[in-house]
Structure 1
Amino acid sequence: MQAEEKNSNKADIEALTRGDVSAFERLFKCLEPKLYAFAYKLVRNREDAEEIVQEVFLKTWERRASLDPAQGLEGYLFKIAKHLVYNKSRRHVYEFAFSKYLADYGIVAEDSTQTTLEHQELVELFEEICASMPPVRRQVFAMSRTEGLSNHEIATVLNTSNSNIENHINKALKLLREKFRSYDIVYAVVLAYLHSLL
């Protein structure tokens, strides 16, 4: 039974690489319950688990042309899910660190509204800086930092060299450091955050 399911999935993955929507729907129906259970076990929150599952399948559809039917899909999906959970957790840690840093310097407003606004500004600036990067560099940085792919994995997907990927990441981090340098209050926190990405 498992062998039949594996062969069926392989055929669907091959069809998916060609953009077959029906194949994508069959794979979703087959693998979504396992992926949801995996995500829920890690985040212990129904909405977060559902969001992770949706994002995993969205990324799978976007990268359908680079999938390898011989490697199967389950492990690939679980790997993306694991990194999404990690990044979600890391963002929570970063938000806490930012708030604590402001509190240590007596900058937190009494109702915490100021902290929320400043944090939101910081996040928006981060997103604006990423958006200003050349398309390939932005894609490489997202694949590395958001999805947690290794330089080798990214190079394979984009059909380029490891050194080229490393160059893109270094330039992206350099740009982020330069842009955040003028934000004296949060610069130390940002540096610590960027250092955690290395």
Structure 2
Amino acid sequence: MILQEIIGERELLQRISVGDEEAFVEIFRHYQDPVFKVVYSYLKSTALSEEVLQDIFLKVWQKRDTLADLDSFKNWLFIVSRNYLVNYLQKLAKDKAMREQWITEQPIYENSTDYRLRERHLATYLQEIINRLPQQQRLVFQLAKEQFLTYAEIAEELGISPGTVRIHMSRALGNIREELKKYGMEYLLLYIVTYPILK
């Protein structure tokens, strides 16, 4: 996997390590295509490759507190991707349903434009889920993710307490997760973190 470091990567990793979602989006957008292409070269399946890609970057986010100490993020990402892919292929070999899905899906030509188009479709699906949230949950979610307001700023904007904002955000995220799970699209959970850049 040939990965090129992003300009200012060390600073981005520092920001991600303390939970900066905007910095994570920059890293995700920079590395998603090369990681996807490598995964697809093994799986030859668009759906499965997207799922693996999302899972890999979910692991990156979950390990965010360790990123600032890495000597080379791109080398670490390569190892994480390789290990996840090996484990996934082993699981694929044992899981009949996954194997049948893999076998029956026809490979298609992949390029960056194709992936961006799929990405936009998936983000549109997420937006539809957000639009169906109860009004207060939707407002809190959008103020946090679209306008990047803090809980205190949202509380002031809506005339409610920061604690109530936190409750609405927690419920909004829970409802989004449940909707995704209904359709077997848990791998889209990453878009909750990267939204709204992928709108």
Identify whether the pair has TM-score above 0.5, normalized to the shorter chain.
no
Q: Which has the higher helix share?
A: 1
Give the structure-2-normalised TM-score.
0.44
Query: Could you tell me the TM-score, scaled by structure 1's length?
Result: 0.44
Q: Compare relative contact order (CA 8 Å, sep 6+) and give the higher one, 1 or 2.
A: 2
Larger radius of gyration: 1
